Amino acid sequence: MRSFFVKKNPKAPVSSVRRRKLFLSYLPDWILTIVLAAIFFSLDKVEGYRREFSVTDTSLRHPYAIHERVPNAALYLICFVAPFVLQPVINLLTIRSWWDFHNGTLGLILGLALTGAITQFSKITVGRPRPDLLDRCKLLPGTTDPEFGLTYWQLCTQTDNTILRDGFRSFPSGHSSMSFAGLGFLAFYLAGKLHLFDRRGHTGKAWLSLAPFCGAALVAISRTMDYRHHWQDVLVGSILGTVISYFTYRQYYPSLASELSHRPYSPRIKRESDEILPTHHHTSSGDQNEMTGLGQSQGPFGDADGFELAGTVQRHNLPLEEVWQDGANEISAPRSMTPVKHTRSESEVTPEPTMMNDRVNATV
């Protein structure tokens, strides 16, 4: 089988028109990412909904921790800076592709922005009290619930509105969702590069791929230790971050079970040349070496790619415009009613000898 990669003019420079098309094709992704990030940070100052609570609820009587085990600054280092630094390192150690760097960075930031926006919107609309609400609220001594009702937040004597406002943002856990979104994307990225599901059963690859999830789990557990969240908040936040991280990963990378899971998807625009991009066919050992980049002279982010992104996984789906137009003329031009001719094999045309004999005997 011929090589997966380009044999004909692999480093042909791309035209300025193609560069502009490539830029414009991914510009909406970056714009959406920036908008979601802006929503995430802007919602932090919004006065959200505040639920009623009971002063006899023991789950709200935990102490308010002034110093958190994982403050916001540390969270951003864990969920964003760490994957942003480690993914290029993994890229350099494996396929050395600048397009992989672009897709990995875009998927990471998009996942974090989407997770943050959903989390913040849920917090301000749900308004669930945190486990340390009563310590934040500072009710007057002797305050009790109404005879047939619950207590309102207006009875709190807390003078710092930021502390009180944050006391009603328990669901879901932002630390949990953000840590699983960032480190979860790193885990999927690493699993793809290591071919975790290659059916060889290497335990070391599994442990290495799950390491980021372990770090995210520690961050989530710390929120219950600081009495910032109930266990349901942490669980839902962790699931939310994991689901979104996988969703954004699959936007730019093939399935983890793919033979080319270590490669990013090719650009959405059509190629200028007749270069052959890798497909999902089975490969020989020689082709596998070329597919993984082994034995090639590569420099950081470029030599293995060329300008036409030869080391990417080809997209086999049709453009969305063509999908929408498919079948648009079926009403005005109905399908032909001409019967379809089927080619049958010899065994289908000629009956078996025993069956033929039975038919002859029955006729006689």
Distance from the Cα of residue 332 to its chain's centroid:
42
Give the residue, 253 or 330, on which the prediction is more confident. 253
pLDDT band at residue 1 using 50, 70 and 90 as cut-offs: very low
- DSSP one-letter code for 268: S
Question: Does residue 175 have an active-site annotation?
Answer: yes
Domain boundaries, the chain: 16-252
Provide the mean pLDDT of the chain.
81
Residue given tokens 């960075």 in the structure block = 105
- DSSP one-letter code for 313: B
pLDDT band at residue 4 using 50, 70 and 90 as cut-offs: very low
Would you say residue 360 has pLDDT above 60? no
Residues of the chain above pLDDT 90, percent:
61
Query: How far is residue 110's CA from residue 135's CA, in Å, rounded to a whole number?
Result: 36
Would you say residue 327 has pLDDT above 90? no
With 0-12 / 13-18 / 19 or more C-beta atoms within 10 angstroms meaning exposed / middle / buried, residue 10 is middle
CA proximity to 180, closest of 101, 277, 249, 97: 249
Q: What's the pLDDT score for residue 271?
A: 66
pLDDT band at residue 291 using 50, 70 and 90 as cut-offs: very low
Question: Does residue 229 have an active-site annotation?
Answer: yes
Give the active site residue among 67, 102, 202, 229. 229
pLDDT, tens digit, 9 for 90 and up, residues 178-212: 999 999 999 999 999 999 988 887 888 999 999 99
Would you say residue 232 has pLDDT above 80? yes
Q: What's the pLDDT score for residue 18?
A: 78
> DSSP 3-state assignment of 217?
helix
Query: How far is residue 362's CA from residue 356's CA, in Å, rounded to a whole number?
Result: 10
Would you say residue 316 has pLDDT above 90? no
Average pLDDT over residues 141-152: 92
Give the active site residue among 62, 67, 102, 175. 175
Cis peptide before 172 (omega within 30 of 0): yes
Give the residue, 348 or 175, on which the prediction is more confident. 175
Average pLDDT over residues 265-280: 61
pLDDT band at residue 358 using 50, 70 and 90 as cut-offs: low
Bridge partners (DSSP) of residue 279 are: none
Residues of the chain above pLDDT 70, percent:
71
Give the residue, 215 or 362, on which the prediction is more confident. 215
107, 253 Cβ separation under 8 angstroms = yes
Query: How far is residue 198's CA from residue 209's CA, in Å, rounded to a whole number?
Result: 14
Total residue count of the chain as it appears in this document: 364
CA distances (Å), origin 147, targets 54, 137, 151: 11, 20, 10
Average pLDDT over residues 130-158: 94
Average pLDDT over residues 283-295: 43
Tell me the Ramachandran region of residue 201: left when phi exceeds 0, alpha when psi lies from -120 to 50, beta otherwise: left
| pTM of this prediction exceeds 0.85 | no
Q: What's the pLDDT score for residue 190?
A: 96
The full DSSP string for 60-109 is G-PPP-SS-SS-HHHHHIIIIIHHHHHHHHHHHHTT--HHHHHHHHHHHH
pLDDT band at residue 357 using 50, 70 and 90 as cut-offs: low
With 0-12 / 13-18 / 19 or more C-beta atoms within 10 angstroms meaning exposed / middle / buried, residue 229 is buried
pLDDT band at residue 17 using 50, 70 and 90 as cut-offs: confident
